């Protein structure tokens, strides 16, 4: 028996998963596990990764041909080994424990998580696919024979974020004093994260002005380059006149020097069980995993306050909010009413940070 890693593009419709299993089974092969590794495409299809057991005497290419005949495109076929049979959740927890005990082990932990190797920067031709990750002040390169997906890189960023948080929590004898938590993004860049206050009003106003009209419309339902003064006050935590407390909490992502805000997410308790959220990332900082990290922060903030779900309302063409929730580890549902997309995501999967 041989193990093979297979990626297939599968339409998201009833019965299609069963058809996939039937085709693989009729080819004489056995699916050991399956999970989604890519975000839904515009046509609704998703990339599923299979670990397939192929008996001796059967060519994997014959299984691929059968899949193609069934209208299931195969985008990857590579050999796997017995380590792939380990439970992924157990592996992730073990790696998190390793990083907690030794933050310096983060590069090795991430390589294990992504089933990759630490390689030299110029090894792309020999390795196939290389992705750089920044760990503290150093940069490491991970390589493997198949492409890295956005979901995998988001998981890697979360593990590196844990290492960074633990490094910042070391005793004060370190030369770096405790300060705002640092996020390591998937491209190796860094941002600092903290709760916004009234003094941040100029930073938030400048962030809004720098965003493109499309980005502003997706977040504020208006492309206007300037925010209404009352809305701006609410974003930076100015106390509500009736209660004396901020109406909502805004979490800012700032450049390492703290001179510019490049993203933010707001969280507001709307009912006893639900908290609404809205996220915006400056255009130049998009596609780096920052939106996912901010949504994860919003989920943690809502859970800490006893919320049971995150909700959001956005223009119906803004499906990015659904993708961000999925990448943050949640399971959103969505419906379109009156031209608006209404999204809900239970928080039962969220584990809040301690301290």
> Which residues are CB-neighbours of 333 under 8 A, at least 6 positions away?
343, 344, 345
* The pair of three-digit structure tokens given for residue 136, joined into one six-digit string: 């503290």
Give the helix ranges, DSSP H, for the chain.
16-26, 60-69, 88-101, 106-113, 124-127, 150-168, 201-210, 213-220, 229-235, 290-304, 320-327
- Residue intervals of the chain classified under CATH 3.30.70.260 are 2-84
- Residue intervals of the chain classified under CATH 3.40.630.30 are 190-346
Q: Tell me the per-residue pLDDT of 178-233, one tens digit each, with 9 for 90 and over.
A: 457 888 888 778 899 999 988 888 889 889 988 888 898 888 888 888 888 888 88
User: Topology of domain 190-346, per CATH?
Assistant: Aminopeptidase (3.40.630)
Burial (CB count <10 Å: 0-12, 13-18, 19+), residue 252 = buried
Name which CATH class applies to 2-84.
alpha beta
Q: Tell me the per-residue pLDDT of 151-169, one tens digit each, with 9 for 90 and over.
A: 778 788 888 888 877 766 5
Alpha-carbon span 314 to 219, nearest angstrom? 7
Q: In what side-by-side order are the strands of the sheet with 249-254? A: 182-184, 190-195, 249-254, 261-269, 274-281, 309-315, 340-346, 333-337
The pTM score is 0.50
Tell me if 124 sits within 8 A of 148, measured CB to CB: no
Tell me if 53 sits within 8 A of 21, measured CB to CB: no
Q: How far is CA 345 from CA 20, 106, 171, 309, 349, in A?
A: 29, 30, 37, 5, 10
What's the confidence (pLDDT) of residue 228? 85
Query: Could you report the average pLDDT of every consecutive run of 10 residues in the chain (355 residues)?
Result: 88 89 95 80 81 92 94 89 69 79 79 83 63 71 81 80 71 42 83 89 88 88 84 75 57 86 92 91 90 92 88 88 89 90 81 39
Collapse the DSSP code of 56 into the 3-class scheme (helix H, G, I; strand E, B; otherwise coil) and give the result: coil
């Amino acid at each position: 028996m041989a193990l093979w890693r297979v990626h297939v593009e599968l339409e998201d419709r009833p019965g299609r998963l069963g058809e996939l299993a039937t085709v693989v089974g009729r080819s004489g092969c056995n699916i050991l596990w399956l999970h989604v590794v890519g975000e839904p495409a515009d046509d609704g299809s998703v990339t599923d990764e299979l670990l397939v057991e192929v008996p001796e005497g059967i060519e994997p290419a014959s299984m691929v041909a059968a899949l193609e005949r069934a209208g299931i495109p195969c985008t990857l076929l590579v050999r796997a080994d017995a380590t792939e049979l380990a439970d992924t959740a157990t592996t992730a927890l073990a790696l998190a424990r390793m990083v907690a005990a030794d933050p310096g082990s983060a590069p090795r932990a991430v390589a294990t998580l992504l089933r990759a190797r630490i390689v030299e920067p110029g090894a792309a031709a020999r390795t196939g696919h290389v992705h750089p990750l920044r760990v503290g002040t150093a940069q490491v390169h991970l390589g493997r024979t198949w492409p890295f997906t956005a979901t995998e890189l988001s998981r890697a960023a979360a593990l590196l974020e844990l290492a960074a948080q633990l490094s910042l929590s070391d005793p004060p004898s370190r030369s770096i004093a405790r300060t705002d938590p640092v996020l390591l993004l998937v491209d190796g860049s860094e941002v600092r994260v903290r709760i916004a206050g009234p003094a941040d009003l100029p930073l938030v106003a400048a962030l809004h002005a720098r965003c493109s009209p499309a980005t502003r419309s997706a977040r504020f339902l208006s492309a206007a380059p300037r925010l209404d003064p009352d809305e701006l006050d609410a974003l930076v935590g100015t106390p509500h006149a009736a209660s004396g407390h901020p109406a909502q909490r805004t979490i800012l992502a700032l450049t390492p020097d703290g001179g510019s805000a490049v993203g933010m997410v707001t969280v507001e308790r709307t009912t006893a069980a639900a908290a609404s959220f809205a996220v915006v990332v400056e255009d130049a900082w998009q596609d780096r995993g920052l939106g996912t990290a901010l949504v994860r922060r919003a989920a943690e903030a809502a859970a800490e306050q006893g919320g049971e779900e995150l909700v959001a309302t956005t223009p119906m063409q803004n499906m990015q909010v659904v993708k961000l929730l999925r990448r943050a580890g949640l399971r959103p549902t969505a419906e379109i009413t009156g031209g608006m997309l209404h999204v809900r995501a239970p928080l039962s999967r969220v584990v809040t940070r301690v301290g």
